[in-house]
């Protein structure tokens, strides 16, 4: 396992005081490792998990040629390209069982959607295309070609082919596909355990009385929401005061029971608190100033569980540490906790999480496509932007009269203005090298749906 200095050495022009957003993603991609434990989950429990192996189709889907709609099955070579044809109906084929019988020239079978095509028949004419009299139907010319409206055996999935792939998120459609193959369980990577706490003496928990200079903790709830949307097991550790003993106990407790630790606050340059000092003391940590807006300060690193466990056992007088030690003793496996120290401003926390932490956590979950695609939308307003940093502005994406996507910002873009984030349905991603945008210019947008 490479340490942070070795990873940094692999990045050309690495500068922790002016790191580009792209370099952050590259660094984190080298830092994190996927979990290795798997679970065989019943389908109802697999939704939102990441597949740990390919799912191979045990049979052809569909298993037989069948009708794509209600109508009449016939041999397509009888169709006349210029004149209508008349056929006699000799039976009805229903879904769920094969029709028993033979069909001669000039004959057809009434057939239901999904029913197996009788031998020798390869075409289905929809019932609304024909005129019928007693047991005769007339098919007009030029409404049908041989082979129309027939589903071929194995056209969806051939026997032995991969139906689902390792590293894919189990979506509702993939859940249904697994069920169509008769599979009762799916092998998935276990969910991540992520510990989170806010830091700072100025932070109030809900229920505490207001006091001068203090603010209620919103970060704890936004991070909880984003982690929960990802299917992580969230270990909520509340608000930790800016005191060395309390911080050390919290970090050690988190490292002993989680795959990742997320904190907010205490990573800015010159802050008069102990969070950065404790991070350095307990782990291999890098402190960055990212060329971005909002969310410039960030810390990343590792805390080794073995080190945390030994310190926890030595702190038997600390109730918080004892809780962590107890959690650790229940675990039979040592692991490394990845640390993400986020800024304290509410919007900066959400932006750095979406831009950097979420892709890293998805990679830890075993996902092969951790970075969501960006959509293109036309800006409805002029936007001022300096080249040399990536900006993430809160926006509302809508559909223009011509059907294209358009986007406008949602007001005050200050890093502490959470109301404009609540009004947004996506982030305008204004890239490092880009400058000002005029009305009508195309911008990239990271949509929130399914993310936050």
Q: Do residues 205 and 348 both lie within one domain? A: yes
Q: Are 72 and 130 in contact (CB under 8 A)?
A: yes
φ, ψ at 81 (rounded to 5°): -70, -15
CA gap 237, 218 in Å, rounded? 14
User: Distance between CA 164 and CA 14 in Å, rounded?
Assistant: 38
Alpha-carbon distance values, 17 to 263, 307, 372 (Å): 20, 29, 27
CATH number for the domain harbouring residue 182 = 3.90.105.10
Is there a single domain that holds both residue 283 and residue 314? Answer: yes
289 and 348 together in one domain: yes
pLDDT in single tens digits along all 452 residues of the chain? 899 999 999 999 999 999 999 999 999 999 999 999 999 999 999 999 999 999 999 999 999 999 999 999 999 999 998 999 999 999 999 999 899 999 999 999 999 999 999 999 999 999 999 998 889 999 999 999 999 999 999 999 999 999 999 999 999 999 999 999 999 999 999 999 999 999 887 888 888 888 888 888 899 999 999 999 999 999 999 999 888 999 999 999 999 999 999 999 888 765 556 888 899 999 999 999 999 999 999 999 999 866 444 445 444 334 433 333 333 344 445 668 999 999 999 999 999 999 999 999 999 999 998 888 999 999 999 999 999 999 999 999 999 999 999 999 998 998 889 999 999 999 999 999 999 999 999 999 999 986 55
Whether 263 and 312 map to the same domain: the answer is yes
Q: Are residues 113 and 244 in the same domain?
A: no
Question: Do residue 90 and residue 230 come from a single domain?
Answer: no
- DSSP code, position 117: P
Continuous segment of H or E residues that includes residue 347: helix 346-352
Domain extent at residue 308: 4-37+191-364
Q: Is residue 271 part of a domain?
A: yes
User: What's the DSSP call for residue 18?
Assistant: S
Question: Same domain, yes or no, for 179 and 110?
Answer: no
Distance (Å, whole) CA 278 – CA 285: 10
CATH code of the domain covering residue 425: 2.40.340.10
Check: CB of residue 147 under 8 Å from CB of residue 122.
Answer: yes
CB 149 within 8 A of CB 67: yes
Same domain, 343 and 201: yes
Q: Is residue 326 part of a domain?
A: yes
Assess if residue 370 is contained within a domain. Answer: no
User: Does the residue 369 lie in any domain?
Assistant: no
374 with 436: CB under 8 angstroms?
no
Question: Do 352 and 337 share a structural domain?
Answer: yes
Domain assignment present for residue 231? The answer is yes
Q: 341 and 217 in one domain?
A: yes
The residue written with tokens 């490479």 in the block is: 2
Residue 20: give its domain's CATH number.
3.40.980.10
Structure tokens at 51: 């597949």
Query: Given 344, 364, 384, which residue is the final one in a domain?
Result: 364
Instruction: Say whether both 228 and 334 belong to one domain.
Output: yes
Residue 452 lies in a domain: no
Q: How far apart are CA 426 and CA 412, in angstroms?
A: 15
Provide the number of structural domains found in the chain.
4
Question: 358 with 214, same domain?
Answer: yes
């Amino acid at each position: 396992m490479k340490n942070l200095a070795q990873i940094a050495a692999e990045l050309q022009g690495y500068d922790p005081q002016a790191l580009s957003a792209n370099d952050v993603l590259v660094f984190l991609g080298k830092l994190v490792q996927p979990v290795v434990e798997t679970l065989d989950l019943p389908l109802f429990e697999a939704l939102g998990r990441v597949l740990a192996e390919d799912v191979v189709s045990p049979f052809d889907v569909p298993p037989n040629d069948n009708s794509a709609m209600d109508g009449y099955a016939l041999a397509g070579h009888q169709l006349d390209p210029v004149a209508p044809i008349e056929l006699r109906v000799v039976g009805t084929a229903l879904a769920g069982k094969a029709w028993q019988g033979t069909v001669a020239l000039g004959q057809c079978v009434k057939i239901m959607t999904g029913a197996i095509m009788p031998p020798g028949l390869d075409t289905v004419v929809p019932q609304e295309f024909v005129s019928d009299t007693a047991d005769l139907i007339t098919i007009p010319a030029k409404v049908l070609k041989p082979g129309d409206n027939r589903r071929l055996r194995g056209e969806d999935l051939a026997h032995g082919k991969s139906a689902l792939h390792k590293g894919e998120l189990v979506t509702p459609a993939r859940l249904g596909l697994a069920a169509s193959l008769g599979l009762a369980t799916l092998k998935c990577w276990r969910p991540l355990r992520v510990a989170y706490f806010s830091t700072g003496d100025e932070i109030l928990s809900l229920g505490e009385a207001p006091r001068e200079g203090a603010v209620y903790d919103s970060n704890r709830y936004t991070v909880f929401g984003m982690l929960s949307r990802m299917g992580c097991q969230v270990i909520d550790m509340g608000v930790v005061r800016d005191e060395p003993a309390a911080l050390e106990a919290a970090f050690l407790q988190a490292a002993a029971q989680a795959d990742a630790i997320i904190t907010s606050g205490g990573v800015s340059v010159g802050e008069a608190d102990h969070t950065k000092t404790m991070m350095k003391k307990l782990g291999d940590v890098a402190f960055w100033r990212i060329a971005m807006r909002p969310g410039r300060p960030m810390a990343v690193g590792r805390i080794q569980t073995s080190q945390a466990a030994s310190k926890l056992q030595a702190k038997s007088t600390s109730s918080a540490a004892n809780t962590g030690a107890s959690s650790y003793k229940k675990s039979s496996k040592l692991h490394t906790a990845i640390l993400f120290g986020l800024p304290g401003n509410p919007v900066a926390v959400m932006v750095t999480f979406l831009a950097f932490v979420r892709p890293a956590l998805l990679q830890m979950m075993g996902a092969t496509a951790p970075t969501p695609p960006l959509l293109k939308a036309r800006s409805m307003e002029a936007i001022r932007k300096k080249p040399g940093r990536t900006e993430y502005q809160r926006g509302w994406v809508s559909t223009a009269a011509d059907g294209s996507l358009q986007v406008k910002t949602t007001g005050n873009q200050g890093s502490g203005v959470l109301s404009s984030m609540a009004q947004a349905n996506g982030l305008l991603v204004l890239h490092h090298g880009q400058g000002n945008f005029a009305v009508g210019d195309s911008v990239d947008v990271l949509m929130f749906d399914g993310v936050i």
